[in-house]
Structure 1
Amino acid sequence: MRPESTANLAMLLEDARSVGASDLHIIAGRPPLFRLVGELLPHGAALPPETVEKMLLPHVPDRLRLVLEREGSCDFALDLGASGRFRVNVSRQRTGYKGSFRLISREIPTLESLGLPADIAKATHHHQGLIVVTGPSGHGKTSTLAAIVDIINRDTTHHVLTVEDPVEYLHPRKKALLSQREVGTHTKSFASALKGSLREDPDVILVGELRDTETVRMALAASETGHLLVSTMNTQSAAKTIDRLIDLFPPGDQAQVRMTLASSLRLIVSQRLLPSTDGRSLVAAAELLPGSVALGNLIRDNKTFQIPSLQQRGKSLGIVRFDDSLAELVRSGRTTLEHARVYAENPDELEAVVTGKRPGSPPEPSPPDGSKPLLSKMGNLLNRKSA
């Protein structure tokens, strides 16, 4: 990293990319911070508020200047040519302005490069339905969406329409027709874009995030009417994603939503990023819950609390439990048991699967010394009877 890059945004972003950072934070009164393997590390001297303002404000698009002034923050994509593409949030806070830059890979990721199961690609073969990628913020959901879209772009002649806020990955022209729309630039909102998209003859619709009831309602309607809809949610597991989708609606509508989900759900991918064994990179653990008759029945009958039980016995249905994915990462040496336990739903069970023994279990008791004469006496007695 170059010391002279501290007050130069383009050089800072180049340095962040060269060291493998996922994010760059620029805050008034603090040194620039690189996020490396989940940790924020300072680089250089603290930046005065005036310097930060000069670094950030020229890059805010004209259409968002009033939004930043009125609401205190705004989101946009920034393309700096040779330095690459970035998702940006600029906001005001106590010491002045703050900029958060998410580095976007120059190459479109693949499921293999992300370390995700190849079975995810099977869901793209459906001509209609709903695919949801879930997980906490910053755990690779957008990259997974890009990999799914790239599969469709490479292998089919479908019309793929994306609605994003902002557009992050720019997909090159391949076999499919891609229309990428940005909220605020090309459309007013996710919901209005979805409403209009149904008249644009799409085969696949990608919605950046299912944020509110109106967007979810339109997405479910699209998934029922001959479209494959792909989106994300910030939920912790596949089962909680289903509950969240239903709970967004008032009680009077939930029975119909359950019916729609039961028939249209094709796949839920719930993923996390955790440190690798050497601590220099991140590896992905993923839970897969494909749509099936058994899952549909649980959703329809309002028995989603039984989904964990279905996951226990559902390997033949293509189900992958999150802890099983963690165990495979540990067994293959890509992460450590200590890292995996932090993210596991049941850490003790994970350790038992990986080590082959129940942690904390007492050793098998050995027979007391006094039992040996007793056993020999019983043997003599049995011998006499048999004689």
Structure 2
Amino acid sequence: MKTLTELLRHLARPGAVELALISGRNPMVKTAAGAFEALDPALLTAEGLQGMLHALVGEARAATVSDKPSQWALRLEGLGPVVVGALRRGDVLNVRVMRTEAPQAGAPAPTPRPAAPPPTATPAPAAQRPAGTGTPPAPAAASRPAPPAGGLSPRPAKGVQILPSERHTPEPPPPAEPPPPAAEPVAEAPQGPRLVVRPESARNLTMLLEDARTVGASDLHVVAGRPPLFRVVGELLPHGEPLPHDIVETMLLPHVPARLRPVLEREGSCDFSLELGQSGRFRVNVSRQRTGYKGCFRLIPREIPTLESLGLPADIAKATHHHQGLIVVTGPSGHGKTSTLAAIVDIINRETSHHVLTVEDPVEYLHPRKKALLSQREVGSHTKTFATALKGSLREDPDVILVGELRDTETVRMALAASETGHLLISTMNTPSAAKTIDRLIDLFPPGDQAQVRMTLASSLRLIVSQRLLPSADRQGLVAAAELLPGSVALGNLIRDNKTYQIPSLQQRGKSLGIVRFDDSLAELVRSGKTTLELARLYAENPDELEAVVTGKRPGAPPEPPPSPEGGKLLSKMGNLLNRKSA
């Protein structure tokens, strides 16, 4: 059976206008005269044709093919603009690849690498909307028609292509202008995230949340006076027209729980979790601001993550073997601390028979029943405050206590007390590094109590994980860089003696203790190709040192000058002179 590349090569022949691929039949090419020519005596299988469709349009798009026709406009090397149509009727898969311009003489063989769809694609229903994937730039703006109507933003953000969904149309798009002569190949910079959403979803919250999950957004912002905003790979991408304040109020207020409506009226803000059927689970903040109401929806993954899926070191799991102590996950807001907590709790849930008690505001991940006993409590619904829940938890026979966040002095005081009384306590803090986390825990207390806090931390601290998310090398996702500071005798002595300023020095020489510096984690991401040196330098504590570690050059060292002809002659004379003396 011929490969997809071999079949597409026939479409590049003069007079060929369409490649017809139907499971159970021979692959055929259609000429301009309307005749079909068989290309291979072997029959196409449904599995083989599905694989070809994956190679053409991507796995996410191919998975949406149904009994309703789907169509995608692509650009393939050696073929230029093409239209790929697909239809599934029972067990029969029908795929058509149609040319939209005449083949060029001497063009290279086509390769099935999807490129940016031209702007002639038409909107499609939700069931056929493809997931966003990175693509090369679209054709020049001079040949583009006006953006389609239907709520899509006419001015996308820099580096973002906002495209309508695709639907089958009976007629192919009109032929495009022939492209200019091929120029020298130029290396293209990685494109930013691409937003492919339904135009009709701009004023429907349920559809917006579905689209946010489809495009891989981490958050959705619905703000009065602004278009809906999707946070994709750290960037806020607008969709549609600005929303009036009354529309936003209608979208948000029905989802606020009845118990929190007085809180919203009194304090102007409230937090809760929301579950919307197929859309999934979300952490929600609704607040009032100058132009009206605002809603922020954090998307919670459907599956409990693992350390491996998050890209975090497996050594984190070793800290769960302690029967008591303190584990703190730190980092800026929105950098995956909650997901790391969920992965740690899942390890305990899967491998031990402990009683795990969680106190969250609100409950985000719903842990399934495995080997351990899990009790998940929500602040506001099941307990008044974190401190109240911690005080009561000591009478509930827990082995592991998870506190969503160490926010205030009273919560930290109860957490330290629990870590000393035979419980493993796990929590988060919004601090930039491991060393600053220790300083923050101590500085929360008045000077008279700090000596006792240092003694408690020195003996009970088991691990600090400080993590950041940064864009991947292709700018289509995020990767995690993590700093690990496990508890040790050396670290305990520095905390006890109030010499936390020496912790960075301990981190430089403490690799044998399991310490991982943040810059070392960044360097490993660069070496493995998961991110670029330019991106890693933006997050590094010492960018010059990071570059020196990755490239092997001393920071600031000038390049070695090439040897001059005079210098070469002088070295040759000196060598001859030494040879004569030795003789």
Q: Quote the residue 1:214 is aligned against.
A: 410
Matches within 5 A, 1:189-338: 189-338=385-534
Q: Quote the residue 1:339 is aligned against.
A: 535
Match of 1:98 among 294, 304, 308: 294
Q: Quote the residue 1:362 is aligned against.
A: 558
How far off is 1:360 after superposition?
A: 3.7
Summarize deviations over 1:122-148 as a string: whole Å, max 9, x none: 000000000000000000000000000
Q: Return the letter of the residue paired with 2:454.
A: R
How far off is 1:154 after superposition?
A: 0.3
How far off is 1:358 after superposition?
A: 2.5
- 229-238 vs 368-377, greater mean Cα deviation: 368-377
In the alignment, structure 1 residue 15 sits paired with structure 2 residue 211: yes
Summarize deviations over 1:325-349 as a string: whole Å, max 9, x none: 0000000000011110000000000
C-alpha distance in 2 between matches for 1:378 and 1:301? 61
How far off is 1:155 after superposition?
A: 0.4
C-alpha distance in 1 between matches for 2:428 and 2:530? 26
TM-score normalised to the size of structure 1?
Answer: 0.96
List structure 1 runs of 4+ shifted beyond 4 angstroms: 365-384
Matches within 5 A, 1:18-37: 18-37=214-233
Q: Quote the residue 1:180 is aligned against.
A: 376
In the alignment, structure 1 residue 115 sits paired with structure 2 residue 311: yes
C-alpha distance in 2 between matches for 1:278 and 1:39? 14
C-alpha distance in 1 between matches for 2:308 and 2:578? 68
Q: Return the letter of the residue paired with 1:123.
A: A
Which secondary structure does the structure 2 equivalent of 1:170 belong to?
coil
Summarize deviations over 1:279-326 as a string: whole Å, max 9, x none: 010000000000001111111111111111111111111100000000
How far off is 1:371 after superposition?
A: 10
User: Which consecutive residues of structure 2, in runs of 5 or more, have no partner in the other structure?
Assistant: 1-196
C-alpha distance in 1 between matches for 2:206 and 2:499? 53
How far off is 1:3 after superposition?
A: 1.1
Q: Quote the residue 2:261 is aligned against.
A: 65
Which secondary structure does the structure 2 equivalent of 1:338 belong to?
helix
Q: Return the letter of the residue paired with 1:160.
A: V
How far off is 1:377 after superposition?
A: 7.1
CA spacing shift, 1:20–1:374, aligned 2, 3 Å: closer
Matches within 5 A, 1:161-176: 161-176=357-372
C-alpha distance in 2 between matches for 1:42 and 1:104? 21
C-alpha distance in 2 between matches for 1:50 and 1:206? 39
Q: Return the letter of the residue paired with 2:357.
A: L
Which secondary structure does the structure 2 equivalent of 1:297 belong to?
helix
Give % identity: 87
Summarize deviations over 1:65-88 as a string: whole Å, max 9, x none: 111111111000001121100000
Which secondary structure does the structure 2 equivalent of 1:133 belong to?
strand
Which secondary structure does the structure 1 equivalent of 2:247 belong to?
helix
Which secondary structure does the structure 2 equivalent of 1:178 belong to?
strand
CA spacing shift, 1:79–1:370, aligned 2, 3 Å: closer
C-alpha distance in 2 between matches for 1:370 and 1:272? 50
For this pair of structures, how many residues does the alignment match? 386
Summarize deviations over 1:31-79 as a string: whole Å, max 9, x none: 1000000000011121111110000001111111111111111000001
Q: Return the letter of the residue paired with 1:110.
A: T
C-alpha distance in 2 between matches for 1:227 and 1:351? 42
Q: Return the letter of the residue paired with 1:281.
A: G
CA spacing shift, 1:373–1:160, aligned 2, 3 Å: closer
C-alpha distance in 1 between matches for 2:211 and 2:559? 54
Q: Quote the residue 1:48 is aligned against.
A: 244
Match of 2:331 among 135, 144, 151: 135
C-alpha distance in 1 between matches for 2:574 and 2:481? 58
How far off is 1:367 after superposition?
A: 8.0
Summarize deviations over 1:210-246 as a string: whole Å, max 9, x none: 0000000000000000000000000000000000000
The structure with the largest alpha-carbon Rg is 2
CA root-mean-square deviation: 1.7
Match of 2:235 among 30, 39, 53: 39
CA spacing shift, 1:371–1:197, aligned 2, 3 Å: same
Q: Quote the residue 1:351 is aligned against.
A: 547
CA spacing shift, 1:320–1:377, aligned 2, 3 Å: closer
C-alpha distance in 2 between matches for 1:377 and 1:164? 77
How far off is 1:152 after superposition?
A: 0.3
User: Which consecutive residues of structure 1, in runs of 5 or more, have no partner in the other structure?
Assistant: none
C-alpha distance in 2 between matches for 1:170 and 1:382? 81
Summarize deviations over 1:98-130 as a string: whole Å, max 9, x none: 000000000001001100000000000000000
In the alignment, structure 1 residue 84 sits paired with structure 2 residue 280: yes
Q: Return the letter of the residue paired with 1:83.
A: S
